[in-house]
């Protein structure tokens, strides 16, 4: 068939090429402005994985208009980094996510308590004093704890005792009734409040000893904030089912839930507890250590927030699990920074080489190969010495003609370079191009995301680009900092 077509009508086989720019699919059931939320817990600054929900929610609120809440879920005092209350909004601002209102759950204990009491009065919850492991076993067998069917009065009494501090940590738990015979064991009666006396909450201190668990506070707040749409990872699917029981009991209107797939990030350090421990031990320099997957680390390396946004829009919110691709993120970032980044030379493991056969050379190297950004000028005078990458110089055979980029041609003679004119056409004839650095360059360290460090020298004019992303030619894009008289580069990508 195809062969025939080729004979009869080859023009039909011509494919027109068009690049697609992916857009996010529409949200279902949108009637007017949307109300959505981000719900991080303040255990650390934001990382790449969390940026997905932030970007997607932000995109939709911007598309349809409405309100985006930042709800800080700080109902587990054992897992709070106090600085995170400020770090999270900072990270979101860097990402370009527009937050309309911040809600902090630790301000809302009384609201949760009100609903908890109502639910007890409705006979839809109970307080059990059965130890956790025993309770779990009973649930697995589909059996109630003895206190599940106590009267409402007795339950309310227990609730007051709980609030009054008469139970110690772990002695009493408030449980929402669902269905003990639910085929999915994850949905059967779930814990909603527990006693915590052994920790001080960074915001409310010891004012409360009964803390809500995530499923309860989330459902109450989603309802109280009148959310229209909830985007969450599909690891929360069972939590959604659990929360639906509260919606049914209280006859609340349900938001639209969308569960997107799981993202695995190979070789990326995201786990907050691990990072915290690493920082404490001095293994990581801080929350922005270039080896980490925090947004602060990416920012430090010169990854542009727009690249992250494009990446997550490209991925969308389908429910299949995916693997994160640094290559794709870097490609988007390169597209953004390539036309803006100035070019400089950075010579790692440098070796000084003398160029003989000429008294002085003028170098005129463009800041950018295609954009008009002017030139870096250097004048080298006899005795002319330049720095080259030692390994590269060693790998070149004696007598080879080389081009020192934007400087001159040279023939390798042992440890010196013999001046060989400045005719650029030698490149066409196959001369290898290498880069160099004047000896009065500035000491430079470049930190790679894998933890390795390149030490060397970069050209003195790099000082003009402190705080910017530059491209070290033949090396890659780096963001430039200045500390203690040295240039510090954080590597973004090639």
Partner RNA sequence: GCUCCGGUAGUCUAGCCCGGCCAAGGAUAUCGGCCUUUCGAGCCGACGACCCGGGUUCAAAUCCCGGCCGGAGCACCA
Minimum distance from residue 123 beta carbon to RNA (Å): 21
Q: Which is nearer to RNA, 184 or 226 (CB)?
A: 184
Minimum distance from residue 99 beta carbon to RNA (Å): 17
Residue 307 CA to its chain's centroid (Å):
11
Q: Which is nearer to RNA, 373 or 416 (CB)?
A: 373
Minimum distance from residue 450 beta carbon to RNA (Å): 16
Q: Which is nearer to RNA, 285 or 328 (CB)?
A: 328
Candidates 157, 160, 149; CA nearest to 125 is 149
Q: Which is nearer to RNA, 5 or 283 (CB)?
A: 5
Round to whole Å and give the CA distance between 70 and 35.
Answer: 11
Minimum distance from residue 318 beta carbon to RNA (Å): 5
In a 13 Å sphere around the CA of 401, the CA atoms on its Cβ side amount to: 14
Task: Tell me 302's DSSP state.
Answer: T
Q: Which is nearer to RNA, 128 or 228 (CB)?
A: 128
Q: Which is nearer to RNA, 92 or 289 (CB)?
A: 92
Query: How many angstroms separate the Cα of 264 from the Cα of each of 45, 46, 48, 268, 458?
Result: 19, 16, 11, 9, 37
Strand 66-72 relative to strand 34-38, pairing? parallel
Q: Which is nearer to RNA, 330 or 490 (CB)?
A: 330
Candidates 334, 328, 342; CA nearest to 480 is 342
In a 13 Å sphere around the CA of 474, the CA atoms on its Cβ side amount to: 16
Residues 6+ apart with CB under 8 A from 343: 365, 366, 367, 368, 369, 470, 471, 472, 473
Round to whole Å and give the CA distance between 451 and 290.
Answer: 7
Minimum distance from residue 279 beta carbon to RNA (Å): 20
Burial of 18 (C-beta count, 10 Å sphere; 0-12/13-18/19+): exposed
Round to whole Å and give the CA distance between 264 and 477.
Answer: 26
Minimum distance from residue 129 beta carbon to RNA (Å): 8
Minimum distance from residue 249 beta carbon to RNA (Å): 19
């Amino acid at each position: 068939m195809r062969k025939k077509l080729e004979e009869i009508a080859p023009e039909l086989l011509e494919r027109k090429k068009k690049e697609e720019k992916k857009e996010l699919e529409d949200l279902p059931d949108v009637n007017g402005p949307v109300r959505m939320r981000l719900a991080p817990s303040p255990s650390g600054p934001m990382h790449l994985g969390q940026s997905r929900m932030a970007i997607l929610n932000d995109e939709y609120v911007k598309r349809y208009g409405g309100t985006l809440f930042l709800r800080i879920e700080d109902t587990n005092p054992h897992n709070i980094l106090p600085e995170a209350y400020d770090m999270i909004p900072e990270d979101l601002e860097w990402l370009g996510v527009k937050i309309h209102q911040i809600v902090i759950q630790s301000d809302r204990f009384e609201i949760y308590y009100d609903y908890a009491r109502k639910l007890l009065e409705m006979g839809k919850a109970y307080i059990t004093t059965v130890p956790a492991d025993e309770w779990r076993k009973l649930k697995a067998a589909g059996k109630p704890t003895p206190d599940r069917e106590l009267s409402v009065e007795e339950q309310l009494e227990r609730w007051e005792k709980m609030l009054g501090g008469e139970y110690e940590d772990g002695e009493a738990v408030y449980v929402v009734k669902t269905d003990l015979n639910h085929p999915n064991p994850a949905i059967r009666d779930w814990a909603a409040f527990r006693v915590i006396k052994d920790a001080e909450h960074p915001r409310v201190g010891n004012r409360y000893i009964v803390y809500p668990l995530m499923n309860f506070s989330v459902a109450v707040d989603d309802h109280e904030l009148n959310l229209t749409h909830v985007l969450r990872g599909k690891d929360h699917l069972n939590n959604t089912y659990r929360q639906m029981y509260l919606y049914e009991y209280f006859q609340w209107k349900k938001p639209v839930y969308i569960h997107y797939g799981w993202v695995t990030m190979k070789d990326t350090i995201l786990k907050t507890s691990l990072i915290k421990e690493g920082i404490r031990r001095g293994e990581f320099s801080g929350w922005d250590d270039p080896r980490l997957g925090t947004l602060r680390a990416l920012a430090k390396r010169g990854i542009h927030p727009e690249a992250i946004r494009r990446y997550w829009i490209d991925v969308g919110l389908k429910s299949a699990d995916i693997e994160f691709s640094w290559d794709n993120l870097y490609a988007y970032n390169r597209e953004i920074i390539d036309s803006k980044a100035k070019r400089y030379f950075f010579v790692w493991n440098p070796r000084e080489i003398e160029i003989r056969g000429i008294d002085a050379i003028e170098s005129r190297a463009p800041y950018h190969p295609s954009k008009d950004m002017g030139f870096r000028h250097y004048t080298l005078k006899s005795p002319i010495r330049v720095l080259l990458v030692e390994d590269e110089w060693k790998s070149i055979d004696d007598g080879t003609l080389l081009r020192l980029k934007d400087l001159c041609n040279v023939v390798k003679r042992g440890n010196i370079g013999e001046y060989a004119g400045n005719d650029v056409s030698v490149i066409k004839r196959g001369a290898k191009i290498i880069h160099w650095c004047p000896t009065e360059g500035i000491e430079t360290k470049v930190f790679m995301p894998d933890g390795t460090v390149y030490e060397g020298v970069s050209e003195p004019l790099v000082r003009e680009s402190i705080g910017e992303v530059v491209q070290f030619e033949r090396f890659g894009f780096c963001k430039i900092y200045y500390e203690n008289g040295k240039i510090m580069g954080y590597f973004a990508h090639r």
